[in-house]
Structure 1
C-alpha cells in the first residue's frame, strides 16, 4: 500500500511542478527517485536509475528519434521556405474575414495534417488570425481556442495518415500503421471539427449580442487595423507557387500510403532474419513508411527552393536542433513510467485499470490514456507511459476479445488527445504566450474544443468500434 501511495504522490507532484514551469527533463528522474524512496526501495535507487530509467529513455530515443528529427526539420523547412505562409494566405484569400473561424481552423488543420509542427503553425497563424478577427470584430480571446481546434485535435489524433508523433507511438506496440481504423478516424475527426466550430460560433454570436468586439489590447495597438483590401498575413510574402507549397504536404501522406498499402505488403523481409534477428518488420513497417515519407517531403522542399533559400544551413540547423527538447521530454516521461511500472505498488494500479471493463478493453484503454495524458500534460508523454507499461496487456486483452489492434491504436491516440490540454499543458501555455493572452481570458474555450469535443468523439468511436469492429 505504501508503494501505491508513493506512486500517487510522485504523479501529483509531477503534475503540479510541471504546471509551475519546471522542465520535465529534471522532474521525471527526480519524481521517479522520490517514488522509489517513498516505496522503501532506496537501496536500489542507483541501479533503478541506470538500468530501468535510462534504458527505457534510451530505447524510446532509439525508436522515435527519426520521427521527431524529421518532423521538426520538415516544419522548419515549410516555415522558412514560405510554403506555410503561401498556403495560409491562399486559404485566407478564398474565405476571408467573413469566415474567420473556419479560415483559421482550416489553415491550421492543413498544415498540421501535412506534418508541420503545431508550434510552428501557432507562430505562423497567430498574426493571420489576429488580422482576421480584428477585421470581423470577433473577440481576440477566442483566437487561442480557434488555433487549438485546428492544431491540437483531429489532425493530431484522429485523421488517418496524420504524421503527428502521437499517431506513430502505438505502431511498435500494436504492429499497426498511421492509417489505422481510417473510417472511425474520419468520423471522430468530423465530430471534433464540427463540434468545435459549433461551440466557437455560439461564443461569437453571444459576444455580438453583448456588444463585445475584438477588444482593446495593448499588444496590438501599434498594428494598424486592416480594411479588408489586403491579404491577411504577416511576414515576408512568398512567391512560391501554390502547387509547390502543397506538394510536400501531399508527399507526406501519399508516400506514406504508397509504402504502407502497396510496396511493403509486396516486399519479402525474410532476409532480415539473419542479419537483424531482433527486428520485427510487421511492427516496424509503419514507422519505416513514415520515415521515408518525411525524408521525401524534406528533400522535395529543399530541391524546389534551391537558389531561393535565405539561409538553408541555418534553416536545417534550427530544424534539427528543434527536435531535441520534445524528444527528450517525452523520453524522460517514458523513463519515469518504466520506474513506476517496476515498483510493487504499480501492480495494484495496473490491475485496477485493466479490470475497469474486462469485457471491453477499449474503455479501459481510453481511461488510462486520458488520465496519464492529463497528469503529464502531454498527449505523447501520457501515451508513451501508458503503452510502455500496459501496451502488451491491452494487446493481449484485445486479441482475447477479438478486437482489432487497429481499433486499439485509434482509440489510444484519440484518448491521449483529451485531458492532455489541462491548464498545466506546455502547449497551451505556449499558445497563450504567443497570443499574448492568459488562462482567465481564453482557457475555458480551449478546454471546450480540445477536451469536451474529443470526449464525445472518443465515446462515439468506442461505441461504433464495439458494435461494428474496426473500419
Structure 2
C-alpha cells in the first residue's frame, strides 16, 4: 500500500514538473524524460531501464507509426502556403460572404483548408491578417477573431468530421482497427453541433458588442512575423500539431496566386483519395503478406488507416506541385521547409507518449486504471473522461490521446468485444474527447492563435472556451448518448 502511495505521488510529481515548466516554454524533449524518471524514482523502478527500454521504445513506436503523416501533413501545408493556395481559398470565402457575414467567412475558410489536410498552424498564419481586415471593415471586435478561427480550424474538422486527415483522427486507427471514416453519421452529427453552437455563440457576442457600441478596437497589424519567431510559442505549438511555426518564414512564396479552382483541387484530392483508399482500394487488396514476420505479423486493420491518409496526402502533394510547378519560385526550399516543419512536432509528441508509457508501466498506475474503468456510465463515458483529462494535462490532443490508448486501448477493445460495442464508436468518442479540454490556456494552438491575432488570454480566451471546449463537450455528450442508444452509424 505504501509503495502504491509513493508511486501515485511520483506520477503526480512527474506530471506537475512537466506541466509547470512546459507552460513556461521549456522544451518537452527534455521535460518528458525528466518527468518520467521522477515518477519512476518514486516508485523504486530502475531509472536507466525506464528511460531506454520503456520511454524510448514507446516514443520510437509512435514515430514509426505516425511519422509519415507528420511529414506529409507538414509538407502539404507548406506547399499550399507557399503556392498561395491557402490565401486564394481564404480570400475567395471572405469575398463571397462579405463583411456582413465576416465571422462565418473566417470560420468556413478555416474549416475548408483544414479538412482538406492543411495544418491548422499554416491556416492561422494566413487567416489572421485576412480576418483582421475583414473584422475591421465589418467593425467587429478584434477580440472575437481568435474564437472564429479556432471554430473553423480546431474543432469539428480536427476531431469529428468523417475522413478528416488530422493526426488526432489517425491515432486511434491502429488501436481499434478503424478507418478515418469511423462512425460517419455520429461524426457528422457532432460536427453540426459544434459548428451550430459556435456560430450561435459568436453571433450572440457580436450582437451584444454592437449594442454596447464596441467596435473593432485598436487598429494595429497582425503580429504574424513576431509570433512565428517567438521561441515560447514554438515550444508550446510543437506539442499541439504537426507543423513547426519556425518554418513559416522559410521557403519562398509565389509571386502570383492560383485561381480558386486550382487552389481547391488538392484539398478535394485529399478527401476523395482518402475515401477511395479506405472504402474500396485497401479492402480489395491482397495483403496476406502482412502476416509474415518481416512485415510485423499484423493485419490490414493495424495499418490501413495510416496507409489511407498517407496516400491521400501524397496524392495531394503531387497534385499541388503539378499545378504550381512554375508558380513556386524555389521548390527545393519549400519542400525542405515543409519536411523540417514535421521533425520537432513528432519528437515532441513522441516524448509525451514516452512519458505516458513510463507512468503506465508503474505498479501504482493500476489504481488509476481501475478508477478510470470504474467510472459510472459505461466504457464510452470512461474513455471520454480519460482522453479529456490526459489531453488537458499534457496540453496536447495527440499526446493525451496516444497516452490514453497506449495504456487503456487493449482493455477497451476487450470490453467492446464482450458487450458487442463497435470499435468505430470508441474511435469517434476518443478523438472528440481529446479535442475538448486540450484547449486550456497552456495549449500550443491557443498560445499561437492569440499571438498571431495580437490579442491576449484576458481579451479572447473565454470565447475560445465557449466555441472550442463547451461546444465540443456538448457534441461529445450527444455522441455518447446516441451511440449508447443505437450504436455506431
Q: Are residue 272 (structure 1) and residue 276 (structure 2) matched?
A: no
Residue of structure 2 equivalent to 1:455: 473
Residue of structure 2 equivalent to 1:15: 19
Residue of structure 1 equivalent to 2:450: 432
Question: What is the aligned counterpart of 2:359 among 317, 320, 340?
Answer: 340
Residue of structure 2 equivalent to 1:230: none
Post-superposition shift, 1:327?
0.6
Q: Are residue 397 (structure 1) and residue 415 (structure 2) matched?
A: yes
Post-superposition shift, 1:268?
1.6
Distance 1:341-1:465 versus aligned 2 partners, 3 A rule: same
Mapped partners of 1:92, 1:277: distance in 2: 49
Q: Are residue 112 (structure 1) and residue 141 (structure 2) matched?
A: no
Q: Deviations over 1:17-65 (max 9, x none)?
A: 2222212111111110111122233xx1001101000111111101100
Mapped partners of 1:119, 1:277: distance in 2: 34
**Unmatched segments (≥5 aa) in structure 2:** 224-252
Q: Are residue 254 (structure 1) and residue 276 (structure 2) matched?
A: no
Distance 1:277-1:427 versus aligned 2 partners, 3 A rule: closer
Residues 112-121 or 394-403, more deviating? 394-403
Q: Are residue 40 (structure 1) and residue 59 (structure 2) matched?
A: no
Residue of structure 2 equivalent to 1:319: 338
Residue of structure 2 equivalent to 1:93: 95
Q: How does 1:368-383 map to 2 (within 5 A)?
A: 368-383=386-401
Post-superposition shift, 1:422?
0.5
RMSD of the TM alignment (CA)?
1.4
Residue of structure 2 equivalent to 1:81: 83
Mapped partners of 1:13, 1:354: distance in 2: 26
Residue of structure 2 equivalent to 1:186: 188
Post-superposition shift, 1:271?
3.1
Indicate conservation of the 8 Å contact 1:19/1:423, yes or no. no
Q: Are residue 29 (structure 1) and residue 33 (structure 2) matched?
A: yes
Indicate conservation of the 8 Å contact 2:290/2:297, yes or no. no
- SS of 1:271's partner is helix
Residue of structure 2 equivalent to 1:225: none
Mapped partners of 2:260, 2:448: distance in 1: 30
Residue of structure 2 equivalent to 1:56: 58
What is the number of equivalent residue pairs in this alignment? 455
Q: Deviations over 1:213-268 (max 9, x none)?
A: 001244479xxxxxxxxxxxxx9774412221111101111001111111111112
Mapped partners of 1:12, 1:366: distance in 2: 22
Post-superposition shift, 1:306?
1.6
Residue of structure 2 equivalent to 1:290: 309
Residue of structure 2 equivalent to 1:231: none
Mapped partners of 1:40, 1:295: distance in 2: 46
**Unmatched segments (≥5 aa) in structure 1:** 222-234
